[in-house]
């Protein structure tokens, strides 16, 4: 994210941001980031697909999760749009038909680094198959996340 665009921002301010930006309100400040470039979009989509089969649909995995791509989350005055969010079905039995969510997800994935307050848990690179919490029950092949002819790094943080 870049610097704050406006202090004491309202939801109306967020809605006024052009659609080619991802807008969020953190601590009363409005931020807008350009829509992601292709490597980011590809990695996010590939990870989403790898999680949905075993963890949402139960295909060769435990099931028990819901995943959404770029859901709008409202926590008090803060409005966040993570790349992927996941809820355990035991806490959210069905996906509600709503414009935004107030229920805190059990898991959030940000492909972009937005906060230096995270603690490093693990770094994965290249074509390795990994088992990362809370999805350690299934191998996640990293090569599926990178565009053909490129490589990347998956950093797990808390």
Residue 4 burial class via C-beta count within 10 angstroms: exposed 0-12, middle 13-18, buried 19 and up: middle
The model's pTM: 0.82
Q: How confident is the model at residue 3 (pLDDT cuts 50, 70, 90)?
A: confident
Q: Give CA separation, 7 vs 22, 114, 115, in Å.
A: 17, 18, 19
Task: Read off the DSSP letter of residue 152.
Answer: -
Whether residues 111 and 57 fall in one domain: yes
Q: Based on the domain organization, do 61 and 118 belong to the same domain?
A: yes
Whether 42 and 120 share a structural domain: yes
Q: Residue 21: is its pLDDT beyond 90?
A: yes
Q: What is the pLDDT of residues 79-138, one digit of tens each?
A: 999 999 999 999 999 999 999 999 999 998 887 754 545 556 677 777 888 888 888 888
Specify whether 52 is located in the same domain as 24: no
Indicate the pairing of strand 107-109 with strand 84-88: antiparallel
Q: Are residues 41 and 28 in the same domain?
A: no
Residues 61 and 69: their CA atoms lie apart, in Å, by 20
**Are residue 17 and residue 53 in the same domain, yes or no?**
no
Q: Cα angle at 43 between 151 and 71, to 5 degrees?
A: 160
Residue 77 domain-assigned?
no
Residue 47 lies in a domain: yes
Q: Calculate mean pLDDT across residues 56-73.
A: 95
**What pLDDT shows up at residue 146?**
78
The residue segments making up the domain with residue 7 are 1-35
As a whole-number percent, the residues of the chain with pLDDT over 90 amount to: 58
Examine the domain organization and report whether 87 and 117 are in the same domain: yes
Claim to verify: residue 122 and residue 148 sit in the same structural domain:
yes
Q: Specify whether 117 is located in the same domain as 96.
A: yes
Torsion of CA 140, 119, 67, 77, to 10 degrees: -170
Q: In this structure, are 47 and 115 located in the same domain?
A: yes
User: Nearest 5 degrees, angle CA 47-CA 48-CA 53?
Assistant: 105
Cβ count within 10 A of residue 54: 20
């Amino acid at each position: 994210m870049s610097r704050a665009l406006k202090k004491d921002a309202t939801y109306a301010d967020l809605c006024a941001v052009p659609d080619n930006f991802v807008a969020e309100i953190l601590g009363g400040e409005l931020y807008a980031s350009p829509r992601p470039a292709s490597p980011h979009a590809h990695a996010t989509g590939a990870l989403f697909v790898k999680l949905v089969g075993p963890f949402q649909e139960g295909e060769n995995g435990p099931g028990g999760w819901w995943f959404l791509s770029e859901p709008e989350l409202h926590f008090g005055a803060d409005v966040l749009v993570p790349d992927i969010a996941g809820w355990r079905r035991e806490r959210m039995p069905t996906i509600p038909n709503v414009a935004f969510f107030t229920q805190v997800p059990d898991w959030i994935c940000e492909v972009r680094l937005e906060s230096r307050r995270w603690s490093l848990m693990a770094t994965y690179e290249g074509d390795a198959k990994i088992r990362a919490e809370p999805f350690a029950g299934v191998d996640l092949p990293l090569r599926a996340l990178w565009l053909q002819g490129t490589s990347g790094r998956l950093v797990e943080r808390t």
